[in-house]
């Protein structure tokens, strides 16, 4: 039986939300890239922990935009100078942006 979008959201099911799927995929790719990166750097553990937290938050089905952006900021700060991870970080940023535009001051 087919369900409409309204029915799916009314029941609280977010597993079919393409934004959540994209975010979790981007996080998984960056986690793999980080795990395969041979160099150690001071904030690596922060990046690993925050990627795990971001995935868990997205898996909860109703991610809060401020929490997503906070995690993104921490991850970017932790791996910012590791150019080999730049593309993966950009994919995570793009996935976070699917939930709403970045607030402008």
Which of 59, 45, 65, 49 is CA-nearest to residue 17? 59
What is the residue-level pLDDT of the chain in tens, covering all 105 positions? 344 443 334 344 455 899 999 999 999 999 999 999 998 888 999 999 999 999 999 999 888 999 999 999 999 999 988 899 999 999 999 999 999 877 664
Question: For position 62, what pLDDT does the model report?
Answer: 82
- N- to C-terminal Cα separation, the chain: 46
pLDDT at 15: 56
pLDDT of 1: 38
In whole angstroms, give the CA distance from residue 58 to residue 12. Answer: 14
pTM above 0.75, yes or no: yes
Q: Provide the angle, in degrees to the nearest 10, between the axes of the packed helices 65-79 and 44-59.
A: 160
């Amino acid at each position: 039986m087919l369900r409409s979008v309204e029915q799916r959201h009314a029941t609280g099911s977010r597993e079919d939300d393409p934004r959540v799927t994209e975010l979790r995929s981007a996080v998984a790719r960056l986690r793999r890239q980080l795990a395969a990166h041979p160099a150690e750097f001071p904030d690596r553990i922060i990046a690993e922990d925050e990627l795990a937290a971001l995935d868990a938050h997205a898996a909860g089905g109703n991610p809060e935009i401020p929490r997503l952006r906070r995690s993104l900021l921490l991850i970017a700060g932790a791996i910012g100078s590791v150019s080999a991870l730049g593309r993966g970080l950009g994919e995570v940023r793009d996935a976070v942006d699917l939930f709403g535009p970045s607030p402008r001051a």
